[in-house]
Chains A and B, each alone.
Chain A
Amino acid sequence: GQNIDQPTEMTATEGAIVQINCTYQTSGFNGLFWYQQHAGEAPTFLSYNVLDGLEEKGRFSSFLSRSKGYSYLLLKELQMKDSASYLCAVRDPIKAAGNKLTFGGGTRVLVKP
């Protein structure tokens, strides 16, 4: 099975940096996704990591360590519009499972002025 843990809520100040951690214990691994979800809206894709290391995309970066079962999403130069939930998800390693994702409970980030 899959077990994915991330903090429930984080608060940060506009312009600051916030790091959202995600740890996973899974029976296999075929990639980790990060999604952003604003209240009342669908999740939108932020990043995908399948190899160890850091992936950078503008103000957002995602890191993966497969040996530690650990990932983080780094949000820099926080803006008010970054207030949202951030979802960590691990993809099922079995090809026949058709790219099933198991999601963590999500981290709600509140950006204050």
Chain B
Amino acid sequence: NAGVTQTPKFQVLKTGQSMTLQCAQDMNHEYMSWYRQDPGMGLRLIHYSVGAGITDQGEVPNGYNVSRSTTEDFPLRLLSAAPSQTSVYFCATMDTRSGNTIYFGEGSWLTVV
């Protein structure tokens, strides 16, 4: 998982609480994204960014906010946590200039009770 750091790795939240999942990369990749993974459903895209200052919605954006003020950081905010947001979250980056490899962070396990 070269150069993609996610924090925290584990988190338990109460319904209605807010929190931010952090993602940082040191590879100067333009493209960053957030996925959630639920059993039997593969990874689903939440939000993505093609560069600093630019973000867009993916397949399942409701309940999440993102911002991209720098190339390095792409935080994911849960505004008011719900049990349906219990999932594993992966941040991913891609160097769109030189290849097709996507690098994933180690994942963040979130439980909402």
Listed in ascending order, the chain A residues whose CB lies under 8 Å from chain B are 4, 8, 31, 33, 40-45, 48, 87, 89, 91, 96-106
Contact = CB atoms under 8 A, between A and B. Distances in A.
B57 to A, nearest CB: 10
A98 B31 CA distance: 7
- Of the candidates B33, B35, B42, the one having the most CB atoms from chain A within 10 angstroms of its own CB is B42
Given A42-B107, A99-B96, A100-B48, A105 B40 contact: yes
Nearest to A6: B42
Interface stretch (B20-28, B70-78, B79-87, B98-106): B98-106
Contacts of A97: 56
Contacts of B107: 40-42
A42 B43 contact: no
A105 B48 contact: no
B43 A103 contact: yes
Contact of B40 (A4, A8, A31): A8
Contacts of B58: 100
A98 B100 CA distance: 12
Contact of B90 (A31, A42, A102, A105): A42
Interface magnitude class on chain B: 20 to 34
Interface of B: 1, 31, 33, 35, 40-45, 48-50, 56, 58-59, 90, 94, 96, 100-102, 104-107
Nearest to B38: A105
A97 B102 CA distance: 15
Given A33-B102, A41-B107, A99 B42 contact: no
A48 B100 contact: yes
A85 to B, nearest CB: 9
B48 A98 contact: yes
Contact of A105 (B31, B33, B42, B56): B42
A103 B31 contact: no
B90 A45 contact: no
A48 B43 CA distance: 17
A41 B106 contact: yes
A33 B106 CA distance: 19
